Amino acid sequence: MRRAQRSMSAALAGCLTAMALSACGGEPPSGTETAGGPLTVWFPGNAEAEMKLVNETIVPAFEKASGTDVEITYVDWEEMSPKLNAAFAAGTAPDVIGHGVAATADLAANDRVEDLTPYVAKLPASDREDLKSALDGGVVGGKQYIAPLIMTLRMLVYSGADFKEAGLDPDAPPKTWAEVRAAAEKLTKREGGMITRAGLIMPSNPISIQQSYATLLWSHGGDFLTPDGKKSALTSPEAVAALEYLTGLYQGAQAVDNTLGTEWGGSPHAQQPIVTGEASMQLSSSGDIKKYQDAGPDRDLRLIPPPAVEGHEARSFGGAANGLMINKDSVQKDQAWAFITHMLQPETSVAYAEALGVLPARASAVDSAYVSKNPELKKAVESLPAAKGNPNVVGWVQMRHAMGQSLERALHGKTPPAEALKQAAAEMDKIIASSS
pLDDT per position as a tens digit, 129-172 = 999 999 999 999 999 999 999 999 999 999 999 999 999 999 99
Give percent above pLDDT 70 in the chain.
92
Quick check: 24 pLDDT over 70? no
- The pLDDT, as a whole number, for residue 46 is 83
Spell out the domain ranges in the chain: 39-152+319-388, 154-318+392-435
**What is the 3-class SS of the chain, one letter each residue?**
CEECCCCCCCCCHHHHHHHHHHHHCCCCCCCCCCCCCCEEEEEECCCHHHHHHHHHHHHHHHHHHHCCCEEEEEECHHHHHHHHHHHHHHCCCCCEEEECHHHHHHHHHCCCECCCHHHHHCCCHHHHHHCHHHHHCCEECCEECCEECEEEEEEEEEEHHHHHHCCCCCCCCCCEHHHHHHHHHHHCEEECCEEEEECCECCCCCCHHHHHHHHHHHHCCCCCECCCCCCECCCCHHHHHHHHHHHHCCCCCCCCCCCCCCCCCCCCHHHCHHHHCCECEEEEEHHHHHHHHHHCHHHCEEEECCCECCCCCCCEEEEECCEEEEECCCCCHHHHHHHHHHHHCHHHHHHHHHHHCCEECCHHHHHCHHHHCCHHHHHHHHCHHHEECCCCCCCHHHHHHHHHHHHHHHHCCCCCHHHHHHHHHHHHHHHHHHHC
- The pLDDT, as a whole number, for residue 357 is 86
Quick check: 32 pLDDT over 50? no
Domains 39-152+319-388 and 154-318+392-435 share a fold: yes
- The pLDDT, as a whole number, for residue 247 is 97
Look at 212 and 29; give whichever has higher pLDDT. Answer: 212
In CATH, the number for domain 39-152+319-388 is: 3.40.190.10
pLDDT per position as a tens digit, 319-376 = 999 999 999 999 999 999 999 999 999 999 999 999 988 999 999 999 999 999 999 9
Decide which of 3.40.190.10, 3.40.50.300, 3.40.190.170, 1.10.8.50 is the CATH code for 154-318+392-435.
3.40.190.10
- The pLDDT, as a whole number, for residue 432 is 94
pLDDT per position as a tens digit, 263-299 = 888 789 999 999 999 999 999 999 999 999 999 999 9
Reported confidence tier of residue 26, pLDDT bands at 50, 70, 90: very low
pLDDT per position as a tens digit, 375-411 = 999 999 999 999 998 888 889 989 999 999 999 999 9
